[in-house]
Chains A and B, each alone.
Chain A
Amino acid sequence: MTTLTRAPVRSPEGLLRFAAPQQFYPLAGRLAPWFAWAAALLTVVGLYIGFFVAPTDFQQGEVYRVIFIHVPAAWMSMFIYLVMAFWAAVGLVMNTRLSFIMSQALAPTGAMFCFVALWTGAVWGKPTWGTYWVWDARLTSQLLLLFLYFGFIALTRAIEDPRRADRAGAIIALVGAVNVPIIYFSVQWWNTLHQGASVSLTRAPSMASTMLAGMLIMAIAAWMYAIAVALWRVRALILERERHTEWVGEVLAAEAQTQGRAR
Chain B
Amino acid sequence: MQWESWSAFWQMGGAAPYVWGSYGVTLALIVAELVLVIRRRKDTVNRLLRWRRALGKDVGGSQARMESVE
Would A249 and B57 be within 8 Å (CB), given that A109-B33, A240-B44, A243-B51 are in contact? yes
Count of residues in A whose CB is under 8 Å from the partner chain = 47
- Identify which of residues 21-66 in chain B touch chain A, using a CB-to-CB cut-off of 8 Å: 21-23, 25-26, 29-30, 33-34, 37-38, 40-41, 44-45, 48-49, 51-52, 57-63, 65-66
A51, B1: Cα distance in complex, Å:
9
Chain B residues lying within 8 Å of A116, measured Cβ to Cβ, are: 25-26, 29
Chain B residues lying within 8 Å of A63, measured Cβ to Cβ, are: 12-13, 15, 18-19
- B21, B48, B65, B66: the one within 8 Å of A123 (CB): B21
Chain B residues lying within 8 Å of A250, measured Cβ to Cβ, are: 60
A261, B48: Cα distance in complex, Å:
19
- A61, A120, A243: the one within 8 Å of B48 (CB): A243
Q: Is the CB of A233 within 8 A of B49?
A: no
Q: Is the CB of B14 within 8 A of A61?
A: yes
Q: Is the CB of B38 within 8 A of A232?
A: yes
Q: Is the CB of A239 within 8 A of B44?
A: yes
Q: Is the CB of B33 within 8 A of A112?
A: yes
Q: Is the CB of A69 within 8 A of B48?
A: no
Proximity string of chain A (46-76) to chain B, C-beta cutoff 8 Å, 1 when within and 0 when not: 0000011111100001110110011001000
Expressed in whole angstroms, the minimum distance between the Cβ of B58 and any Cβ of chain A is 8
Chain A residues lying within 8 Å of B26, measured Cβ to Cβ, are: 69, 73, 116, 119-120
Expressed in whole angstroms, the minimum distance between the Cβ of A76 and any Cβ of chain B is 12
A63, B69: Cα distance in complex, Å:
57
Would A232 and B41 be within 8 Å (CB), given that A51-B2, A120-B26, A255-B49 are in contact? yes
Q: Is the CB of A239 within 8 A of B62?
A: no
Q: Is the CB of B60 within 8 A of A257?
A: yes
Count of residues in B whose CB is under 8 Å from the partner chain = 40
Expressed in whole angstroms, the minimum distance between the Cβ of B2 and any Cβ of chain A is 6
Would A52 and B45 be within 8 Å (CB), given that A66-B18, A69-B26, A236-B37 are in contact? no
Expressed in whole angstroms, the minimum distance between the Cβ of A232 and any Cβ of chain B is 5
Chain B residues lying within 8 Å of A257, measured Cβ to Cβ, are: 60, 62, 65
Q: Is the CB of B12 within 8 A of A252?
A: no
A69, B61: Cα distance in complex, Å:
49
Q: Is the CB of B9 within 8 A of A235?
A: no
A69, B2: Cα distance in complex, Å:
19
Would A253 and B59 be within 8 Å (CB), given that A120-B26, A233-B37 are in contact? yes
Chain B residues lying within 8 Å of A201, measured Cβ to Cβ, are: none
Chain A residues lying within 8 Å of B41, measured Cβ to Cβ, are: 232, 235-236, 239
User: What are 6 A-B pairs with beta-carbon distances under 8 A?
Assistant: A52-B2, A62-B12, A63-B12, A69-B26, A236-B37, A239-B45
List the interface of chain B (C-beta within 8 A of A): 1-3, 9, 12-15, 18-19, 21-23, 25-26, 29-30, 33-34, 37-38, 40-41, 44-45, 48-49, 51-52, 57-63, 65-66, 69-70
Q: Which 3 A-B pairs have the closest CB atoms?
A: A253-B60, A62-B13, A260-B66
| Other A-B pairs beyond A52-B1, A62-B14, A253-B61, 17, CB < 8 Å | A51-B9, A54-B2, A62-B19, A66-B18, A69-B23, A115-B29, A127-B18, A243-B51, A249-B59, A252-B48, A252-B52, A253-B58, A256-B63, A257-B65, A260-B66, A260-B69, A261-B69
